[in-house]
Amino acid sequence: MPRCGLTVDSLNPKVLALADHLGDDAIARRAQCIQNEIETKPGSHPFDEIIYCSLSNPQSMGQQPNKFFREVLALCNYPHLLEQSETNSLFSSDAIARAREILDLFPGRATGGYSHCQGIEGLRDIIAAGIASRDNFPCNAEDIFLTDGAAPPVHMMMHLLIRDQKDGILCPIPSHSLYTSYMVLQGATLVPYYLDESRGWGVSMSDLKKQLDGARSMGVVVRGLVVINPGNPTGHVLVEENQREIVDFCRNEDLVLLADEVYQENIYTDEKKFHSFKKIARSMGYGEGDISLVSFHSVSNGYYGECGRRGGYMEVTGFNSEVKKQVYKVASLSSCSNISGQILMSLVMNPPRVGDESYTAYQAERDSILSSFARCAEAMVCTFNRLEGVTCSKAEGAMFVFPSVRLPKKAIAAAEESNTQPDAFYALRLLETTGIVVVPGSVFGQIHGTWHFRCTVLPQEEKLPLIISRFMAFHEVFMEEFRD
């Protein structure tokens, strides 16, 4: 019998519809390829290293892991160390104490078993206490689901809310691909709303209302609204008034507010503070019965950048008990999230305190990283705003700047000729000329006819002058070449 085998056209069309940049980013592949060429044939390119300004992956850029976090993880992985006298000289005293406290939270001190599917109860208590102290409003450990980073809980919520393609979710444009990808995978209708670049990428309530009404008039049942604060890729931090408007909007329109708050610790301007949407809702007097709200956080996106540990949580409030039972059911499919990630999430929400041996070093490290981000952001914004045709909003949080580039018609034509998006064409030219990798705005979505790129503020500061001078030189030559 002849075997035809598994063919791509017999696969789930929702998988096929996922944007190719997820698995097949031409720029990332080209960067990898150039890197290999530089290593094997030094001098083959006009630069001697690839500088990744594309990755929100601080430790891959040379940032060192936080000492206290790693001490506690090591001790929890190998508790035998806690009984050895040498340990006192190898580890800080508060890391030792913390590891003991954490081990006591595990039934039978067994860190090798599956946990409760929401995560170890005692760790959720610590996280809930951290959230309560952050917000000055109570938090219930039963509302916390510990997760392997932020992707699985987003996937869970899409599974829960999306029945078929008539169901839609309001999603910001631009936004990183996590939400849009899972919407595509679940067959949801993406209802885009456009962040207002003219107001530093805030949420325009009139556009939100317009998009919601438009979708509804097309028969779309809009189930929820995604907000990313601080913003990815925009670096914007919402003002409180804007957050209150969003809360009222979700309440009035009966939408689940899906709040991506993974960059909550990365604010590097004195003018803004992070306020969780739950804090905002509670401070408006809204309780459990008034608004359905999911807050996502992870250990990947804070300044400590423990991306590889895959820790995270979602806090689910304003869901009735029947609905909550269904969330629990979906969460239980994968047994539980990884224990190291669970422990790390508890450390993030309860870092060393005043008086602890690690406190001073921990604070110094935090301040040093965030102030480096701030200086880098400022230098980049300043540089980009000096380039012909480029404007760049102030970066206030997260890890990014997201400048707009007015590309000449000739460049757009050249891009079309090479079957590339114009901003990808620009980014590829940048890579080939300078070794600098940025992410084209078309990956995140943008208003038709505008072009952007996302650049992280993570590069080591000593590389900044090089990045800036190369970028400026490249842009000048590019504009010269394609000037209309």
In the complex, the smallest distance separating the C-beta of residue 413 from a copy of itself, rounded to whole angstroms, is: 30
Residue of 26, 38, 74, 447 interacting with a copy of itself (CB under 8 A): 74
SS (H, E, C) 157-185: HHHHHCCCCCEEEEEEECCCHHHHHHHHH
Q: Rounded to the nearest whole angstrom, what is the least distance from the CB of residue 422 to a copy of itself in the complex?
A: 24
Name the segment binding a copy of itself (CB under 8 A); options: 124-132, 252-260, 347-355, 379-387.
252-260
Interatomic CA distance for residues 21 and 42, integer angstroms: 29
Q: Quick check: 438 and 454 in contact, CB under 8 A?
A: yes
Q: Which is nearer to a copy of itself, 326 or 385 (CB)?
A: 326
CA-closest candidate to residue 70, choices 340, 350, 433: 340
Spatial contact of 17 and 184, defined as CB atoms under 8 Å apart: yes
The pair of three-digit structure tokens given for residue 331, joined into one six-digit string: 């969460």
Q: How far is the CB of 250 from a copy of itself (least distance, A)?
A: 10
Number of H helices, E strands in the chain: 17, 14
Give yes or no for a cis peptide into 233 (omega within 30° of 0).
Answer: yes
Q: How far is the CB of 417 from a copy of itself (least distance, A)?
A: 26
The interface with a copy of itself within residues 283-302 (CB under 8 A) comprises: 289-290, 292, 300
Q: Least distance (Å) from a copy of itself to the CB of residue 323?
A: 5
Report the residue number, 251 or 452, with the smaller CB distance to a copy of itself: 251
Among 44, 60, 368, 385, binds a copy of itself (CB under 8 A): 60
- Contact window for a copy of itself (CB under 8 A) among 152-160, 265-273, 347-355, 373-381: 152-160
Among 318, 397, 408, 445, binds a copy of itself (CB under 8 A): 318
CB of 288 to a copy of itself, least distance (A): 10
- Binding part of the chain for a copy of itself, among 151-159, 229-237, 271-279, 434-442 by CB under 8 A, reads 151-159
By the 8 A CB rule, do 374 and 459 touch? no
Burial of residue 41, with CB atoms counted within 10 A of its CB: 0-12 exposed, 13-18 middle, 19 or more buried: exposed
User: How many residues belong to the site for a copy of itself (CB under 8 A)?
Assistant: 101
Cβ(266)–Cβ(373) below 8 Å? yes
Residue 78 binds to a copy of itself (criterion: CB under 8 A): yes
Q: By CB under 8 A, which span of 123-131, 181-189, 268-276, 392-400 interacts with a copy of itself? A: 181-189
Query: CB of residue 451 vs a copy of itself: minimum separation in angstroms?
Result: 25
Whole-number minimum distance, CB 198 to a copy of itself, in Å?
30
Question: Where in 82-141 is the site for a copy of itself (CB under 8 A)?
Answer: 84, 86-87, 89-90, 107-108, 110-115, 117
Q: Which of residues 393-452 bind a copy of itself (CB under 8 A)?
A: none
- Asked whether position 386 contacts a copy of itself by CB under 8 A, the answer is no
For residues 104 and 117, give the distance between their C-alpha atoms in angstroms, rounded to a whole number: 19
For residue 334, state whether it binds a copy of itself (rule: CB under 8 A): yes
Our CB check for a copy of itself shows the closer of 3 and 41 to be 3
Restricting to residues 28-57, name those near a copy of itself by CB under 8 A. 55, 57
The CA-based angle 151-227-455, given to 5 degrees, is 75
Q: Which is nearer to a copy of itself, 120 or 237 (CB)?
A: 120
Q: Interface residues for a copy of itself in 196-225 (CB under 8 A)?
A: 223
**Residue closer to a copy of itself, measured from CB, 309 or 475:** 309
The CA distance from 255 to 258, in Å, is: 9
CB-based contact 259:296 (threshold 8 Å)? yes
Q: With respect to a copy of itself, which residue has the nearer C-beta, 159 or 272? A: 159
Closest CA to 232 of 395, 116, 97: 395
Choice from 94, 135, 306, 396 touching a copy of itself (CB under 8 A)? 306
Nearest to 422 by CA among 430, 432, 411, 431: 411
Q: What angle do CA 407, 238, 444 make, to 5 degrees?
A: 35
Instruction: Report in angstroms how near the CB of residue 160 gets to a copy of itself at its nearest.
Output: 6
Give the separation between CA 154 and CA 316, rounded to whole angstroms.
Answer: 12
CB closer to a copy of itself out of 101 and 378? 101
Residue nearer to a copy of itself on the CB measure, 134 or 216: 216
Minimum CB–partner distance for residue 378 and a copy of itself (Å): 25
Q: Is the distance from CB of 426 to CB of 446 less than 8 angstroms?
A: no
Alpha carbon distance 336, 328 (integer Å): 11
CA distance 257 to 315: 12
Are the C-beta atoms of residues 189 and 166 closer than 8 Å to each other? yes
CA distance 370 to 366: 6
Q: Which of 12, 36, 133, 363 binds a copy of itself (CB under 8 A)?
A: 12
